[in-house]
Structure 1
Amino acid sequence: MSDIQQIPLVPEQAAILRKCQSSFCHAVQAKFNCMAILHNMEEAGSFGTGHALRADKRYSTKLSSEVEISVWKDDLTRHKVAAVVNAANEKLKHAGGLAQALSYAGGPMIQKYSDDVIKKIGKVKTGEAVFTPAGNLPCELIIHAVGPQVSPKSSQKELDQAAVLLHTAISSILQIVVNQNIPSVAIPALSSGLFNFPRDLCADIIVKAIKQFHEYKGFYGKNVEIHLVNNDEPSVQEMERATRAILDPSSISGSFSGAVQGHSMPSSSSNSLQCGNVTLHLKMGFIEEEEVDVIVNTISKDLGLSQGEISKAISTKAGTKIQDEIYQMKNSTSFSGGDLHVTHGHNLKCKAVYHTALTDRSWKSLHNGVSECLRRAARGYTSISFPAIGTGNLGFQKQDVARIMTEAVAEFGKHNKSKLVVYFVVFPKDKDMLKAFDNEMKSGKVKAKSLEVRNDMTTSFASAAKETTANETPTVEFQSSCGEAQREAKEWTINMLKPSKKRTINNNHVIYLGQKDHEYLLSLQIIFDVHIEEFFRSGNGGITITGSPSDVSCVAIEVEFMLCKAQEDFAQAEERDILYSVVRWSCKDEPWIQRPEISAVLEKAHLAGIENRVFSNHKVSLMHRTVVGNTGRTSAVERTCMFGHFKSLNNSFYARTHVNRDDYFEKDVMKIFNACGLSIVKVEKLENIALKQLFDRNEQRVKEKPKRLYQRVSAQFCDLICRVGFQKEFAPPAEQRYGSGIYFSSTVDGARRLWKEQEHEHEQYIYIIQAQVLTGRTSIGSPDLILPPAMKGDPLDRYDSVSHRAQTWVIFNGQQALPEYLIICDTSTAV
């Protein structure tokens, strides 16, 4: 990895990112291929798109035959109960945290119902609760409860006063449950997110309030299920701790997390250990199904994911992009070739995957590999899952693996200052491995005690479970193999968090937004009380947001992510069509294989060296060129190259490779950039074998040599151009004077004038792409053109391009241009 860029956040900025942290992280990844890690920020209450949790029931007990209370890790917007509780404010404006997430998931009617309540009864006081219909949520009612808000560094007196109000709020919720005959209700850790109430104290008060309500016969003998539901691991653990300690003290000498419930564990299993600030859990399961921040994978020296059962399982679940990312990292100039490679989770239910390549078969290598994963995870994450490393191709004995991995966690826990939850995930059929880990965690080899909570230690344990980083400054950290990408991500973030009552997001992919996207924009407008306007004029489109500065920043980040998703959907469709034009997969007995989207998936898998792909009940073997249907019949699969041999390019069909500028650029080209006052920072060679074949076919048609032309682009489109070629949506000029097409300039200086500096004012670098362009027969352009003009009045015989004074060139077919080099220049030396 290159140098790490960080931004310390003031409280106002941290509050903005708490509301939309998921969309922020996704946008940074999509725009800059960069990983954003938020430090010292609450996980709960994130608004926007994130990984969907599967409902995980951690613990359950009964207060009586009629009342059951249980602890769940789940997404409250999807949790299946009759009513969910919303952490609301007095005005019922659902503009942050959990309230925002529920309002978005439930649709605009949630806010309308809430506004109607305010008009009727006025503000909802702290400690009170009201209910409304649930809109599109999978429940019938939302109970809007107003919990107390405290300052980040609250005094004991402030906490004592707030505790009474929180107890009252829970009682108000339960009273509505009884009055409305609600059979089941989901209650989150009210006030513990944006309202700053301590998580451990919150859990204690909620459980005690439920217990007291029951003891005072508040349920009147009615059957009620109370679910304590949160989507972040620290809150779930606190709820389980409080529920066990207060309602069922006899249970607290057993498993703490409940993560292993439902699995066949050995008797007397010491399946949880506390090692300083690190909590270690043992569980049975599949590593690729883990729902944690980080999943660990073991990878071969050649960085291929087709070797080893763990790698194969992770690759199959994550999709082909995870292998693409690894190879792109390998080809990067900043790649160090070390033993730990970090990628995004893609289709996995995690934020990152740590691919560890052990240096040798020694115990020290295994110990160091585990330690490095822990050290890296502790820098910004709260949970990590390991498989049993080394028992496959490396040939370690299972008891040795258990000892080495457990000791590595214990030693790390002695010095680690932040809280980290670690899972050892054992394949369900591997009873010997499970037993080895279980014995190791019970034995005296590790200097850590099994988690125990006694009645007289409840308070001290709760204090120990607090986040140690609570008083540290919130920061955003950017990680990437490319230093330029990190700096662009940092500058973009600084700009997005600057206070502004009006912000415009320029992106021509606004024209691809669908009905659901526009419904989402409407809900954002209602939730944040902002005005949102879409525009498309003079070939340039985007969205303008107007409102209060903090709300504008929140909505702008959500809009950026939405537009990034639209451009990725567009790029994937283009990628599918390009691949289908040059190579096709087919099967006489299974015609669905020849569909463009299936054919493209199979081709990318083939290029990546993946042996099998599964589609519904069909298994396609790319190695043996067969498909097994749902009836068990095996059929032959064919791969047809349309224009000649089509082979892999670094396990993909495209690649960006750093090159030595002196080796790849003639002196006259260097002079062009120097004459413009540009200092070249980096040069990358862009290759795309699919585009090259299509370009060659067009060159035969045009029958004229291509011209070397230039295009200036934004940072977020560099990789897309390498993937799918030039598109008019990627780099529209300030004015489309010569037609609605793809613009190029014959000079670098002309490219800077064509794409004006103010369009890229927040970027740290100037990005110029050098291309071979088939201009062929050309004519004079005009603004109304969407195709080249016809020659001599024949509509079927058209010019190949239009131009202006041999300086500006416009083509209307992206296959007439082939990207060759990306030249990144330093703006600090630009004239």
Structure 2
Amino acid sequence: MSDKEQGLLPLAAEQAAILAKCRNAFCHAVIEKFNCMAILHNIKESEALSNTSGVFCAEKRYFTRLSSGVEISVWKDDLTQHKVEAVVNAANEKLQHGGGLAQALSMAGGPQIQRWSDDIIKRYGYVKTGEAVLTPAGNLPFKYIIHAVGPKVPQNPTQKEIGDATPLLYNAITSILQTVLRENITSVAIPALSSGLFNFPRDRCADIIVKAIKTFHDHGGFQGRNLEIHLVNNDEPSVQEMERATRAIFDPPSTSRLYSGAVKDSSQSMTSSTSQSLQFENIILYLKRGAIEDEMVDVLVNTIAPDCKLHQGVISRAILKKAGDEIQNEIYKKKSNTSFYSSKVLYKTKGYNLYCKSVFHTVCAHRSDSKSKEILFNVVLESLKKAAEDYESISFPAIGTGNLDFKKWEVAKIMMDAVAEFAKQNKRKKLDVYFVVFPKDNDMMKAFENEMKKRKGQATSPEVQHRQNYNVATKETTTNEMPSVMFQSATKCNESLREAKGWACNMLQLSGKSTINNNHVIYLGQKEHEFLLTLQAVFDVRIEEFFRSGNGGITITGSPSGVSCAAIEVESMLCKAQNDFARAEERDILYSVVRWSCKEEPWIQTPEISGILEKAFLAGEENHVFKNHKVSLKYELIVDNTGKTSSVKRKCLLDPFQSLNNSFYARNPVTKNYFLEIEGRKASTAFRLSIIKVEKLENIVLKQLFDKNRQRIKCQPKRLYQCVSAQYVDLICRVGFQKEFAPPAEQRHGNGIYFSTSVEGALKLWRNLEHEQYVYIIQAQVLTGNSAIGSPDFILPPSLKGDPLERYDSLSDMGETYVIFSVQQALPEYLVICAKSSSV
């Protein structure tokens, strides 16, 4: 059987209906329990529940509907779980998703996210700043990820650095919106791009993103599509800035912006600004209404007088006003430098505060000049040639209709002739060309429209064929229409696939009762219990928690379909609870061996923040960003939002240690050693098992704590065994043995962490794991020290010699079972995966 066949689970209609109601919870539980991805095929999502686990609810802060029907909203939510069709990822040029939002999406989406991204880079090279590419979303609860590369600025950037980066951020948002339209995406979530690791000021970032959306709308970019744009962040400062920007830009006081001192805001006249298009060879020509200074393209074309003074002429004044005086200064500084001229009629400057990369300033002749038409033709042609060398889009105003006194029909014909000629000469590179007509100039618009109609038959195609994007396959569907789930292991582990598939079959088995065993029910809080009440109402079931004999869980009764839906949601909720518990334990054990501190910023020294910084340090990150601070892990410095710099220290409390494969723990396959073979034969005889895989478990933090306790207890460790469920294997490797992870069928010897002296004994002790597809046995070194006879009533070992401050190190049955009460007394060494005879 192939890996694909092993991971494929066909679904009956009733089962598909269940997953339609709780697909997010199902996918979340699969990845948390088995480190696998669940890809659902031919299952339409239902709106029964709006959240994966019900613990965190998305919060909508703002909503407006534009005149085109496009809906804009601001949300506080986890972007990895937000309910849209596509989510935008803040990517870098190499599409290496190793930090921040990119890492969160990549981890949640599974390893194929990075694989698809690597394929894009391999095929097309790095993604330029300001561009966006598309991949599927893996096992995330939406269809696509749009990877957008925003600009990166230094810490505490100057106004000039922000000004230089601004057009690139505009371009990134435009690229996102163009991708959304091209792929017929109906809803997209956009975060505060570039405001995190890329240092772009949060308030300016919000302003630019919202203005870019409005400009795209005002210029008819949405083409009448029904679209929802969600501005989504999970940190309060970013959410507040987005809310402020959207209210200021979409709900402003009644004001008007002047164009050449006399014309109102173009948005007031843009209700019919939908662009028309025509294709010549590989050149796409768009005709649209708008203000040239608001264009979001690579190049703008401007007409200036021979003396290069930008305050002359309507278009030049508008460009000067928006770009700032620096654009005029650049022209003056370079006017006498012949290298500044790229041709006899074309000057090139930066875009400054415009939304473009460059501006081409052209000099034309008055219509009374005998060569004026030829000059105008050459101006357009030379601009196109120059743009094609380094850029992908260019916008022209209607050149010559002002002081140069050209007839509007003449301008339309000459400019379109130049585009047609360029298309014939240029066979190498594709270029998007925009003719931008001032909104109220209906005569000019009509002249261009008439000229375009005449050329429809001459053009290669009257329909626009968008240039190829860096997309990979956006669907991975089955060859038939039957609903199914495809499981993919993140580690190419067939055992994980079978465990996930078996669990899914159990969850989807229609029954009036389901019992979920998980000791993390003791950590559920008010929100989780409110969610359980919601599940009861939504699915018409009865939910009861239990905790007896050291084992806890939840029982659900009701209609078969309701029970299955509620059980899947509960599994997802409990997975989150156990992960929160593990993260807290992880922070504590890291804090026990290493501390990050800063005299000026004492909040750094808390276990939570110190643990976060240590994990980032071991992962090889150079910087880690908090809300108002950026920590340089490489140089041990912290910079706040005012630019103040302080020293940060990393201190190892025990022995110094370094990263272990970008982490502090690892699982590595090894050959079966002699001892395991002997134990395996014993187990095979009694329980018909076969050892199929052995992994070496390493954790440098647990090792230091174990060695420290070994010095205290002063005894030789025993080699003991524990039998665990598949979902706890990786957690034990991360944070060590916990009593919540592997309670035995009966806790006869105390409420602690149980071990057995043999594999055979472990299988008897944990007989409640018979439903597992495989048997997972962990071999450990355990410090049992002075051991007393156990009792079910013990929550700690009894005192030693009557001294309450001195206690026994462990409890036992004086045979093959030992119970300890501290994670630091046991060190996991090997994982042994065994197949039952029916699974071989």
Q: Same fold (TM over 0.5)?
A: yes
SS, match of residue 66 in structure 2: strand
CA distance in 2, matches of 1:719, 1:615: 28
Instruction: Map 1:17-166 onto structure 2 (within 5 A).
Output: 17-43=19-45, 45=47, 47-50=49-52, 52=58, 60-61=66-67, 70-72=69-71
Deviation at 1:431? 5.7
**Which residue identity does 1:764 align to in structure 2?**
Q
Choose which of 434, 450, 453 in structure 1 pairs with 2:464: 450
Note if contact 2:516-2:555 (Cα within 8 Å) is conserved in structure 1: yes
CA distance in 1, matches of 2:770, 2:74: 39
Give the corresponding residue for 1:644.
655
Deviation at 1:374? 5.5
Deviation at 1:698? 0.6
Give the corresponding residue for 2:825.
816
SS, match of residue 562 in structure 1: helix
SS, match of residue 726 in structure 1: coil
Note if contact 1:678-1:826 (Cα within 8 Å) is conserved in structure 2: yes
CA distance in 2, matches of 1:32, 1:495: 15
Give the corresponding residue for 1:827.
836
Deviation at 1:377? 6.7
Deviations 1:347-376 (A, max 9, x none): xxx99555633699775999xxx9998689
Deviations 1:444-468 (A, max 9, x none): 999994389xxxxxxxxxxxxx999
CA distance in 2, matches of 1:751, 1:568: 25
| 1:317 matches 2:78 | no
SS, match of residue 515 in structure 2: strand
Deviation at 1:589? 0.9
Note if contact 1:739-1:786 (Cα within 8 Å) is conserved in structure 2: yes
Change (3 A) 1:593 1:532: same
Choose which of 682, 691, 707 in structure 2 pairs with 1:680: 691
Change (3 A) 1:437 1:809: farther
Deviations 1:501-528 (A, max 9, x none): 1111100000000011111111211222
Deviations 1:13-57 (A, max 9, x none): 111111111111111111111111111222452525259597898
Give the corresponding residue for 1:720.
731
Give the corresponding residue for 1:574.
585
**Which residue identity does 1:626 align to in structure 2?**
L
CA distance in 1, matches of 2:20, 2:516: 21
Note if contact 1:583-1:646 (Cα within 8 Å) is conserved in structure 2: no
| 1:660 matches 2:671 | yes
| 1:704 matches 2:715 | yes
Give the corresponding residue for 1:745.
756
Q: Which moved more, 1:795-804 or 1:495-504?
A: 795-804
SS, match of residue 291 in structure 1: strand
Change (3 A) 1:679 1:575: same
Give the corresponding residue for 1:610.
621
Note if contact 2:34-2:499 (Cα within 8 Å) is conserved in structure 1: yes
Give the corresponding residue for 2:813.
804
SS, match of residue 24 in structure 1: helix
Instruction: Map 1:555-594 onto structure 2 (within 5 A).
Output: 555-594=566-605
Choose which of 491, 506, 516 in structure 1 pairs with 2:502: 491
Change (3 A) 1:56 1:382: farther
Note if contact 1:378-1:420 (Cα within 8 Å) is conserved in structure 2: no
Give the corresponding residue for 1:783.
792
Change (3 A) 1:609 1:371: closer
Please say which structure displays the higher CA radius of gyration: 2
Note if contact 1:58-1:70 (Cα within 8 Å) is conserved in structure 2: no
Change (3 A) 1:362 1:632: closer
Give the corresponding residue for 1:540.
551
**Which residue identity does 1:30 align to in structure 2?**
E
CA distance in 1, matches of 2:750, 2:780: 20
Give the corresponding residue for 1:510.
521
SS, match of residue 505 in structure 2: helix
CA distance in 2, matches of 1:447, 1:700: 81
Choose which of 756, 759, 769 in structure 1 pairs with 2:778: 769
CA distance in 2, matches of 1:377, 1:442: 32
CA distance in 1, matches of 2:828, 2:462: 58
Choose which of 471, 487, 503 in structure 2 pairs with 1:478: 487
**Which residue identity does 1:60 align to in structure 2?**
L
Note if contact 2:136-2:145 (Cα within 8 Å) is conserved in structure 1: no
Give the corresponding residue for 2:422.
none
CA distance in 2, matches of 1:445, 1:423: 37
Q: Which moved more, 1:24-33 or 1:714-723?
A: 24-33
Change (3 A) 1:667 1:354: closer
SS, match of residue 659 in structure 2: coil
**Which residue identity does 2:762 align to in structure 1?**
A
Give the corresponding residue for 1:736.
747
Note if contact 1:530-1:547 (Cα within 8 Å) is conserved in structure 2: yes
**Which residue identity does 1:816 align to in structure 2?**
Q
CA distance in 2, matches of 1:817, 1:297: 41
Deviation at 1:632? 2.5
CA distance in 2, matches of 1:473, 1:774: 54
Change (3 A) 1:318 1:784: farther
| 1:635 matches 2:629 | no
Note if contact 1:74-1:231 (Cα within 8 Å) is conserved in structure 2: no
CA distance in 1, matches of 2:505, 2:137: 25
Q: CA-atom RMSD, angstroms?
A: 4.7
CA distance in 2, matches of 1:703, 1:446: 86
Choose which of 99, 103, 108 in structure 2 pairs with 1:344: 108
| 1:11 matches 2:13 | yes
Note if contact 1:386-1:423 (Cα within 8 Å) is conserved in structure 2: no
Extract unaligned runs of 5+ from structure 2: 153-170, 195-207, 210-295, 300-355, 358-390, 395-429, 434-457, 467-474
Deviation at 1:72? 2.8
Note if contact 1:20-1:48 (Cα within 8 Å) is conserved in structure 2: no
**Which residue identity does 2:702 align to in structure 1?**
L
Note if contact 2:133-2:148 (Cα within 8 Å) is conserved in structure 1: no
Number of equivalences: 548
SS, match of residue 837 in structure 2: helix
Deviations 1:695-716 (A, max 9, x none): 0011111111101110000010
Give the corresponding residue for 2:118.
357
Deviations 1:552-603 (A, max 9, x none): 1111111111111111111111001000000000011111100110000000
CA distance in 2, matches of 1:446, 1:784: 86
| 1:291 matches 2:87 | yes
Deviation at 1:383? 2.7
CA distance in 1, matches of 2:510, 2:123: 54
Give the corresponding residue for 2:342.
none
CA distance in 1, matches of 2:190, 2:535: 41
Note if contact 2:33-2:727 (Cα within 8 Å) is conserved in structure 1: yes
CA distance in 1, matches of 2:87, 2:697: 36
CA distance in 1, matches of 2:704, 2:47: 49
